[in-house]
Amino acid sequence: MFIYPENLKAKPMLWLWLLRDIAVIGIGALLSVLALTQGLGMGLLVVTVLYAFLTIQVDGSSILDFLRRAACFLFLCQQYYEWRLDP
C-alpha cells in the first residue's frame, strides 16, 4: 500500500519506511543474499537488518534521525556559549 504525501509536502512512504529507505534496504538485502551464497558471512545481513530497524518512521521521525541529531549536537557541531555579567 503506497501512502501519498499530504498536500505534496510530506515525503512518500511505503508501510513504515520512506521510499528511499526501502530502496536502500532492498539493495542491501540483495547484496546480503549474494554474500551469503558466496560464503562471505552474515555481516552485511546484520547491517541491513539494523538499518531497516533504525529507519522505521513513527510520527515523522526515526531512531536514526535522533541518533544523527544527537551525534551532531554532542560531537560534530561546535557549541558556543558566552558568559558575562549584566551590570
Tens of pLDDT, residue by residue over 25-49, are 999 999 999 999 998 889 999 999 9
For helices 63-71 and 43-54, the axis angle rounded to 10 degrees is 90
d(CA 73, CA 84): 23
pLDDT for the residue numbered 4: 64
pLDDT band at 58 (very low <50, low <70, confident <90, very high): confident
Given a cut of 80, whether residue 12 has pLDDT beyond it is no
pTM for the model: 0.73
Output the DSSP codes for 6-59. GGGTSPPEETTEEHHHHHHHHHHHHHHHHHHHTT--SHHHHHHHHHHHHT--BT
